[in-house]
Amino acid sequence: MNKQKEDILDTALTNLQENTGIGGVWQANAHLDGIVELELPQSQLRFKIDVKKELRAYQVGQIQDISRRFPSYLLVAQRLFPKIKESLRQLGIAYLEANGNIFIQQGNIWLWIDANKPLKTQARKSNRAFTKTGLKVLFQLLLDKELINEPQREIARKAGVALGNIPRVINGLLEKGYLIRKDKNNFSFTDRKALLEKWMVAYEDTLRPSLMLGRYRWEPKGERNPEAWKQMSIDCGQTQWGGEAAGDLLTQHLRPEVLALYTSESRKALMTKYRLVPDEQGAIQVFRRFWEPEGPAQATVPPLLVYVDLMNTHDKRCQETAEIIFNEYIKAIL
């Protein structure tokens, strides 16, 4: 276990004892990140621990698999988001946060504390590769691994960003170890799968919220059946299906409940051409398209973006579809 994990675990056990009186000691061993023993008033619990800084929706399935392999599993994290904690509780997976919040369901013991505020963390210098602009550049680099060695002007053109951003993004990737320099003008990626996972998290937190144009419904309300969206005549050069709808089109494995469109068209054009009406409860989410497609127009956004949007849901059926898309469309380009 590295120093960062030790700090998270020590902080969590200290706050747990201060808030509840429950003491805990840990020791390193070959099982995950070690063993922790918790002293409850009338019993002692022993767990195999897995320490992480945080957990995202796309990782919950992985945690479930690990918990099945290791009975008496305890996830320890710096912070867990409310929906993640809800998912873990539904799966019966024990967790402990650095602030002392805890959930344990073991035999006749049920312990659930969620009253402590998240701990404040020291702000770190932003890496330019993972800003809104940087994420647009990374999207193109993830779609085409050879693009990194094209002239920087070409990278900027494809990403739709100013030329001056490209060296900053490259330096950010070098700093984080996702990229190594082969010579003066050539680079090589070290782990594109890890970079995709990092992009997935940063996209959900940083870029995607800024792209949201609103929610819509078809007009008149209730006229269309759940499959009617497939017959919508959209201008694929300007508007494409994303999310669950694209997942269905690519795999025929998913019946979408929430539809997503990525578009370069105006709100007025969307309302006029596709009979969409603004509705905060509408089933269609519309996002501003942040790239300019090349080649023949496609009904869906690039499969990589479909994969990311589906993995970032808390829906098991969406994540199953995302795995199909990964294996069929994405693995070969990483």
Q: Please report the pLDDT score of residue 247 as a whole number.
A: 97
Q: Please report the pLDDT score of residue 75 as a whole number.
A: 96
Task: Compute the distance between CA of residue 38 and CA of residue 44 in angstroms, rounded to an integer.
Answer: 6
| Percent residues over pLDDT 90 in the chain | 73
Tally Cβ neighbours within 10 Å of residue 142: 22
pLDDT (tens digit per residue) in 146-176: 999 999 999 999 999 999 899 999 999 999 9
Assign 139 a pLDDT band (cuts: 50, 70, 90): very high
pLDDT (tens digit per residue) in 171-196: 999 999 999 999 888 999 999 999 99
Task: Specify the fold of 128-190.
Answer: Arc Repressor Mutant, subunit A (1.10.10)
Q: What is the pTM of this model?
A: 0.78
Task: Compute the distance between CA of residue 235 and CA of residue 225 in angstroms, rounded to an integer.
Answer: 21
pLDDT (tens digit per residue) in 209-231: 999 999 998 765 555 566 788 88
Average pLDDT, the chain: 91
Q: What burial letters (b/e) apply to 45-60, b meaning 16+ CB within 10 Å?
A: bebbbbbbeebbbbeb
Q: 314 or 308: which carries more pLDDT confidence?
A: 308
Task: Compute the distance between CA of residue 229 and CA of residue 18 in angstroms, rounded to an integer.
Answer: 55
Residue 106 token pair: 């073991």
Q: What is the mean pLDDT of residues 80-86?
A: 93
| Percent residues over pLDDT 70 in the chain | 96
Assign 123 a pLDDT band (cuts: 50, 70, 90): very low
Tally Cβ neighbours within 10 Å of residue 321: 26
Domain ranges of the chain: 3-113, 128-190, 208-333
